[in-house]
């Protein structure tokens, strides 16, 4: 077996032409399908997008739009508040889910559901719950207090807050799962040693758990930010960008301009997100290649 493998390797190294061994030729042949897919589905659409949004007037027009400024602010608030809140809750919950109890095991199966179910029906369900007139939440508030509940989706800041909650509801299970895996990878010996040294529960977290998880935690936060920049569902399906186009984020702004029949602006809105995405991606790649 070993000799055969060796012979193949030797055969692979004898050149078939001046610049190429069979090994390298096979490498090229095997990479062609991937390259084709990459060119047709990544390079071409992005290149076409840049071509559509090539004129500087597009951006002048875009920056004049007050809705654009508002959605940049919304995007930043969404990234900074929602993502960090979500990651912190995920960090705490991962500590809860690693407890060895049968009922916690069953609970974790149910807990993964929001991430597994399709987003359109569930987000529409949340939208119906928040309806001021016949939604379940305001009906319950009315029964308990005999007063009308707040008009949830009619106030821009409340509506954006609700969109953030929907985002957290949807993606919390995934990040909790990742952090559970990280916690399980920490050897038990470290905790035993800490116990012997008389460490309190907080000290165990501070000096054992956190140092082992912090790299992963920061990487996850950045990755989540990159993904959330394109999080179209939780904003658009819940608020539709409204009221008065005040809860748009950069991801949904493209659809707004598309509806207004301004394709160049809609692509422009995405291109403007690049200064937000690229540093995050660069930072991410640096961390991963360390």
Residues that bind another protein (CB under 8 A): 30, 93, 96, 99, 101, 103-104, 107, 110-111, 113-114, 117, 121-122, 125-126, 128-129, 131, 134-136, 138-140, 169, 173
Give the separation between CA 250 and CA 33, rounded to whole angstroms: 33
- Tokens representing 58 are 């597009």
Contact 204, 238 (CB under 8 A): no
**Residue 68: how many other CB atoms lie within 10 Å:** 22
Minimal distance, residue 41 CB to another protein, in Å:
14
Nearer to another protein, 2 or 110 (CB): 110
Minimal distance, residue 138 CB to another protein, in Å:
7
Task: Write b or e for each residue in 171-192: b if 16 or more Cβ atoms lie within 10 A of its Cβ, otherwise e.
Answer: bbbbbbbbbbebbeeeeeeeee
Nearer to another protein, 64 or 290 (CB): 290
Minimal distance, residue 107 CB to another protein, in Å:
6
Give the separation between CA 70 and CA 253, rounded to whole angstroms: 10
- H or E element, residue 78: none
Nearer to another protein, 138 or 209 (CB): 138
Minimal distance, residue 267 CB to another protein, in Å:
28
| Sign (positive or negative) of CA dihedral 163, 165, 170, 172 | positive
253 burial level (CB within 10 Å; 0-12, 13-18, 19+): buried
Minimal distance, residue 285 CB to another protein, in Å:
18
Nearer to another protein, 91 or 253 (CB): 91
Nearer to another protein, 44 or 106 (CB): 106
């Amino acid at each position: 077996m070993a000799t055969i493998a060796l012979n193949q390797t030797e055969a692979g190294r004898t050149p078939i032409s001046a610049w190429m061994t069979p090994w390298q030729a096979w490498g090229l042949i095997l990479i062609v399908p991937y390259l084709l897919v990459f060119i047709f589905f990544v390079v071409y659409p992005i290149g076409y997008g840049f071509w559509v949004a090539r004129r500087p007037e597009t951006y002048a027009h875009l920056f004049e739009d007050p809705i654009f400024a508002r959605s940049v602010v919304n995007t930043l608030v969404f990234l900074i508040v929602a993502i960090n809140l979500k990651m912190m809750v995920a960090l705490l919950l991962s500590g809860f889910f690693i407890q060895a109890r049968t009922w916690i095991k069953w609970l974790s199966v149910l807990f993964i559901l929001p991430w597994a179910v399709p987003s359109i029906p569930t987000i529409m369900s949340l939208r119906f719950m928040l309806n001021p007139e016949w939604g379940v939440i305001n009906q319950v508030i009315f029964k308990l207090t005999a007063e009308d509940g707040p008009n949830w989706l009619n106030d821009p800041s409340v509506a954006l807050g609700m969109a953030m909650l929907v985002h957290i509801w949807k993606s919390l299970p995934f990040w909790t799962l990742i952090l559970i895996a990280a916690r399980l990878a920490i050897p038990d010996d470290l905790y035993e040693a800490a116990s012997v040294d008389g460490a309190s529960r907080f000290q165990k977290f501070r000096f054992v758990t956190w140092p082992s998880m912090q790299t992963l935690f920061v990487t996850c936060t950045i990755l989540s930010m990159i993904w959330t920049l394109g999080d179209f569902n939780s904003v658009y399906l819940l608020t539709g960008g409204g009221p008065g186009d005040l809860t748009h984020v950069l991801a949904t702004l493209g659809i707004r301009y598309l509806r207004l029949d301004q394709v160049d602006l809609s692509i422009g809105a995405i291109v403007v997100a690049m200064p937000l995405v690229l540093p995050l991606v660069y930072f991410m790649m640096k961390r991963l290649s360390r």
